[in-house]
Structure formats: C-alpha cells, structure tokens
Amino acid sequence: MVPRVGSTSRSLSLDGDNWELRYVAHADAPASAYPREDPNYRTVTATVPGSVELDLMRAGELPDLYEGDNLRRAWELEYGDWWYRTQFDLPDDWDTDRTSLLLDGVDTVATVFVNGVEVGGVANMMITHELPLSDAVRGGRNELVVHIRSPLAAAEDYPYPAQLRQIWDASESLWIRKPAHMYGWDIAPRLVSAGIFRTVRLLERPPERIDDWYFVTKQLEGQRAIVELQYELSTAPRGRDVRIEVSGTHGSSGARFAATAHPTFMSGHLVFTIDNPRRWMPRGYGQPDLYDVVLELVVEGETVDRHQTRLGLRRIELDSHLAADDSGRFRVVINGEPVVLLGTNWVPLDAIHARDRERLDQALELLAETGSNIVRAWGGNLYEGDPFYDWCDANGVLVWQDFSLACARYPQTEPFISMIEHEAEAVVRRLRGHASLMLWCGSNETDDSFADDRIDPWTDAITREVLPRVVRLHDWCTPYVPSSPLLTSDPEQRERVPEQHLWGARASFKAPFYASTVAELVSEIGYHGMPALRSLAKFLPDIPPAAIPDDPVWRLHESNHRTHPNWYYSRNQLMLDQARLYLDCEPNDLRQIVLASQVSQAEAKKFFIEQARLARGRRWGLIWWNLIDPWPQISDAVVDYYGVRKLAFHYIVRAQQQVVMMASEVTGWHRDVVLANDTPGHAEVSWRVHSASTGAELASGSTTLGAHADQVVTTLPLAPSGECYLFRWEGEADGQPVRGGNHYTEGSPPLSFERYRDSYLPQIAALTPTFEPGASWH
C-alpha cells in the first residue's frame, strides 16, 4: 500500500518539459543500460506527464495520430525501447534518508534508476507506485532514469493456455496490467503506448504519520450518526502520549463535530457520534452534504502529521437477487430510500491517457448538464484520479466502479492472481472513503466471456474469490457484484437476469428486445450517431457516402483498430442502416446522413431513458453508453472528441429532467402523456401539449404530484400520418421553480427526413432548455 500523503510531507515535483526521451522504435532486445552512445537510439525532448507518442509528435517525428490513417504509425512503435531521463536538485535541508519517489502513473513495465542505482521496478499502469530512494539519492544534483520496456515484449514471457481469451483476439493484453481498451476496442483505437502519463514527485515523509484512514457510517438513524474511524500509523506509540484529533465542519451550515483517538498500537478504531447529521444523498433525492474533516496526529503534544478529507454520511444497500426468471432484483437503496439510477458509462477521456486531466473538467461539465445521478466507471478503462471522485462526491453523482477487467477470461494462476489482489487492495483503499462510491463490480462482461463458450462463470477465481475477499477486508460496507452483467451458470438465461447490457441486433430501437426487457437495471445501452460535419472534416477524408462502409480510413475510425480476419462487422454500415431505418434520407448526401444518424440516435436514447422512467417500480434505472469520445470516431457517444454536442446530448438533457413530461407507447388507439416528478418534494405544475404540425394546443392543465411520483395527465390519439407532440410545463417542485420542455415523435419509420428537419426539429430545439440544432450537425 502507498501511504497517504499529509500536508506535513514535503514534496518536490519532477513534472515538466525538462526530460529527454532516448528511444528506438523497434528493439529485438532492450538495452541493458542507458544507451548514451548507441547510434540506433534517437533523442527527443520529453514532457512529464506525457507519452512517447506526444513527445514524438511534438518533435515532428510523428504526425497527429488522430487524423486520417496516421494511427497506423503508432503500431510501428509497439516493440520500442524507451528511456526517460531528467535531473533534479535536492535542497540542502532535504533528508535523503526519508526520501521516496512517487510515480502516479507509469505505462507500464519499467525499471527505475537514481544516480545509476536501480531503485525498483513497476509493472502495473493502474496504480500509484512509491519507491524508497535512501540508498541512491544525494544532496544537490541527481539523475533519474525510467526505462520502459515494450508491453508486447513483456507479454511474451507468459504462458497462454487454451482457456484464456480476449474479445478482440489481443492475447497480449491478458497478463499486462494496462487498460483493455489500449489494445483496440469498438470505442477506442489500438494505441498500446508507453510513457510516464501522470505526475512524478519526490517525497520527504515525516517519520511519524498517519498512513491510512477510513470512515465508516455504521448507523444513520433519526438525529444521530455513529461513525467509525479506522486508522493505521507508521509507527506504534510504545507508551508515548499519542492522539489523533478528528474535527469536522459541515460545508453550508457550519455544524461541527470533534473526536479524539488514543492509539495504543499502530492500527486502531475510534467510534464517535455526530448529532443532527447532514446526510449525503444523490441528485434528485436530497443534497450531497459533506463535512470538511481534518485529522491531526499529535505526539507528546506536538502535531507531527495533518490530513484533510471530506466525509459524506450515507448507508448504501444493494437489494439484489440473481435469478433466471422474473424474481431477479437489482435495486440500490441510499439511506433507506430506493433510488432510480439515470446516467452514463464513463469510458476513457482520451486514448492517450496523459491527456485525460486536461479533458476532465469539460467532461464533468457535460456530465452535470445531463442531470445524471450515476456514472458507471467502465472496466475497460483506467481508474480515474481523485478529482473525478471528489467531483462526484460534491455533486451527488453515484459511482459504479468496475475493477479494470473487461471482456476476457484472464489467467487464473500466479503471478496474475497476486498482481490483481495487490492492485485491488491499492484501488479499494484509495477510493473507499468517497461518499459517491456506490458499488464495486468485479469486471465488465467477463461472465459473458465464460458463458459464450459454455464455461460456468462462477468458476472464475478472480471475480468470485480474489476481488470479493479484498472488498470484504478493506471496504466491507460497500456492495460488491462479480461482473456486469452477472450471469447464472446457465448461459441460455442471460436475457432473464435482472441487470443487463442491451445491445442485441441494434436495429429498431423500439424492438421488443429493448422495449420488453425484464431487466430491472440496464447498465449499458447505446445507439450510433455521426459527429458534426465540421468535426468529420478534421479527421476523415472526403469520400462518396456509398464508400463509407468499406473505406479503410473511415473504418479505422469506427474503430476497426486492425485489419483482422475475425473483425465482426462494419459499425459504419450499422450506423447508416439505423439512420435509413428511421428517416428516408438520401444515401448519397453526407449532410442528410449526418443529420439522420443524429436524429435516430437522439430519438433512440430518449426512448430508452423514458421507457425506464415510465416503468417506475419495475425498472430501477438505465445507464446509457456513452458521454464523450476518447478519440475522433463514429460512435454511440453523444459528444464527439472535439466537444461538439450531438442532438442526442440535448434530448438526453430533457429526458433526464427531474420534472418531465413523457408519452408512453401506444395502448389500443391512444398513448398516455405522463408527468413525472423525481424531486424529493411535492410539485405543482401547469402543462400544455401542442402539435408541431398545426401549432394547435391539444391539451393543458395543472397537476400536483408527490415526491418521486408520476401521473397520467392526458391521452393523445394515434396520428396515422405522423406527428410531433410538444410538451411544455412550469411551476414549482421541492420548493424550487421548474420550467421545461420535451417532445414525442409519432409515426411508422421511415419518417420524412424533410418534415423532421424543416418542421419538427426547429420547434423541438425551441423548447426549454433551448439549443441550436445546426450546431450539432453542420
């Protein structure tokens, strides 16, 4: 475990552009020492955090890998040998005996040298590493070298028995702890990469410190919370006067609490009470109340270590029952209240992870705009940094956290088991204190990988033994499930389990596969839509639309990451088919294809969300795929790589309003119009329904609703020739003013492209909240 860093630890950042990268693009064997004189190696200026691709692009030795088919140039580097080097000066008063090197992110298999002395090795991109330097570092000038070996070369050192499998036939990914998407995925390119992608710093830690802490809300009833602090110290008190002073202040009210622990050993527990507790609740169910907490370690009257954190008082339960019939359950309960989950899957922010941090703020702003109350941190991704979880804490967004395992049957033997256990312990201990953390999930679709070959997924030792053991040991109050979706031993029953990923044939979005699912929670569901024309022009050649399904450059950005005989289908063809199924667009007009694809995507995702909300009491949520692209591509994302919102983004914003009007699917000769209030207080709302075709008002009224309730307010007749209904409402909910708009498009596809574009879309865009439709697709 890497101990927590308190404010009494001195820190010296080694980030910046004062590094050099010495490399060879392809090495039969890596150099055994820093290749100062080897003529086969080239040198460029390097920046940390960064990656080898970014350094070579800045040096002019690589083009922009995201444009055209330039990505193929990165595949030539997969057997490269990479040597990062920098120099640093230690202050005169720096204690070298208490010095360590903190590496927040190294990609991936690396050996570290300080002043020519090997100080350690790392082999896991997912976690932070700390290496002691007392035997190598010195006062004054020092040299740091990080040698990164090819992950493919490292993967060649392991066995590959027949049972191992990875969905994209990338066996080289199975043993090496990098995010699965980096070897190529349907939402990310094959960009194996290497580099120091997160911050690097030297630490001078105090000899006596708090190494870790963990707050558990043990009881939360009425006007009292019982909280337990579990702590670990670097050294035992051994009879000295040692205290841990805990003080907390509620952010808005200023309410305070205080408690004192008197350790008698290097680990211990403190149970204390908080009166009149402010509870942390997710969006739509109350306020995400947090306490600012300070922990101070006091030894013989002197404060020797100090830490700050935030505490959310909440109890989370997962009411789940795996069954292959309608008795299955998957419901989340926060502080005793069942919660309907609406949100998005969180995929890589950038295919080059060194750029994640610069894209995070934009992505979080988009997430806030959607009104989501959950984000599923997908298992093919890297674990996010602390700012992501801090934001979710502060904004009432629950986090479903997958462990970074996806769509594969991983090794079941040493050393992989030990590596996963060590990684999981590091991740759980880092994230367990976040109020937003709702669920630990062992993997993404690894159960499917077993069931596809009729192997019982309950024989997977990683998700059934190792990971639950880690969670029980280190975060026993947070629910754990082995996989998403979690399958029974009978693969034929996967469409009957209570939590599902709904992909299917991906044809009509109103097909029974989507509309009639028995799932209580749908945790993946998506639909394709093209980026705007101006975004396409940045990374794709201008070709006749008829060539799109087979053009190699366009296919590269779908993401057909490698030419491979097992590649399954053209996702661009899928997107074209979906667009033409919904609107009668001209197949040779790219402008029409772009808009038609965005309309079909937007209507599909709106339909998915609204069907989940209309099934209140039977359906407990939907987590759509996905928010923003990690590279320029044609995909299910509702915001493209360049930050341009597709129509689907705006439709989702409206469908996820806490007070919303929605139309159900047809029953007999009419459909119901439902007003839903998903705030924690009652709502009084005036509403109107208009025809987009005629402008006539079709219905109006006023309705009062209780918290988390809905009501049929009117019915609408079938419109055989097609129609678009416009809903507007305003009033008050939970003591706050509300005003909004939504729509429902009726008709049997394919609908008239011109009618939707010229009549419906301008009126849909003018509803509240407004948007400019042309900005989404021009």
DSSP 361-428: HHHHHHHHHHT-SEEEE-TTSPPPPHHHHHHHHHHT-EEEEE-S-BSEE---STTHHHHHHHHHHHHH
Q: Quote the mean pLDDT of the chain.
A: 95
pLDDT over 70 for what percent of the chain? 99
pLDDT at 472: 97
pLDDT at 760: 98
d(CA 577, CA 268): 61
Cα separations in angstroms, 15 against 46, 103, 147, 494: 10, 11, 17, 48
Burial (0-12, 13-18, 19+ Cβ within 10 Å), 454: exposed
pLDDT at 494: 79
pLDDT at residue 564 greater than cutoff 60: no
Residue 290 pLDDT grade (very low, low, confident, very high; cuts 50, 70, 90): very high
The whole-number average pLDDT for the span 150-170 is 94
Strands 621-624, 521-525: parallel, antiparallel or unpaired by DSSP? parallel
pLDDT at 176: 98
Question: What is the per-residue pLDDT across 755-778, written as a single tens digit (0 to 9) for each?
Answer: 999 999 999 999 999 999 999 999
pLDDT at 563: 59
State both tokens at 767. Answer: 């509803």
Asked whether the beta carbons of 472 and 433 are under 8 A apart, the reply is no
The whole-number average pLDDT for the span 102-109 is 98
Residue 458 pLDDT grade (very low, low, confident, very high; cuts 50, 70, 90): very high
Helix (H) or strand (E) holding 73: helix 71-75
d(CA 233, CA 210): 5
Residue from 549, 685, 608 nearest 343 by CA: 608
DSSP state of 462: I
Which residues fall within 8 angstroms of residue 181, CB to CB, at 6 or more apart? 187, 188, 347, 348, 351, 380, 381, 406, 630
d(CA 76, CA 25): 7
State both tokens at 755. Answer: 């009618």
Cα separations in angstroms, 679 against 59, 162, 283, 743: 53, 52, 9, 21
State both tokens at 213. Answer: 């802490």
Cα separations in angstroms, 626 against 231, 349, 436, 605: 38, 11, 20, 10
d(CA 580, CA 113): 59
Question: What is the per-residue pLDDT across 619-665, written as a single tens digit (0 to 9) for each?
Answer: 999 999 999 999 999 999 999 999 999 999 999 999 999 999 999 99
pLDDT at 1: 82
Question: What is the per-residue pLDDT across 324-381, written as a single tens digit (0 to 9) for each?
Answer: 777 789 999 999 999 999 999 999 999 999 999 999 999 999 999 999 999 999 999 9
Residue from 102, 64, 68, 63 nearest 426 by CA: 102
Question: What is the per-residue pLDDT across 592-612, written as a single tens digit (0 to 9) for each?
Answer: 999 999 999 999 999 999 999
pLDDT at residue 222 greater than cutoff 60: yes
Residue from 78, 63, 19 nearest 44 by CA: 19
pLDDT at residue 566 greater than cutoff 70: no
pLDDT at residue 567 greater than cutoff 60: no
Residue 560 pLDDT grade (very low, low, confident, very high; cuts 50, 70, 90): low
The whole-number average pLDDT for the span 682-686 is 98
Q: What structural domains does the chain harbor? A: 10-204 (2.60.120.260), 210-311 (2.60.40.10), 341-653 (3.20.20.80), 657-747 (2.60.40.10)
pLDDT at residue 693 greater than cutoff 90: yes
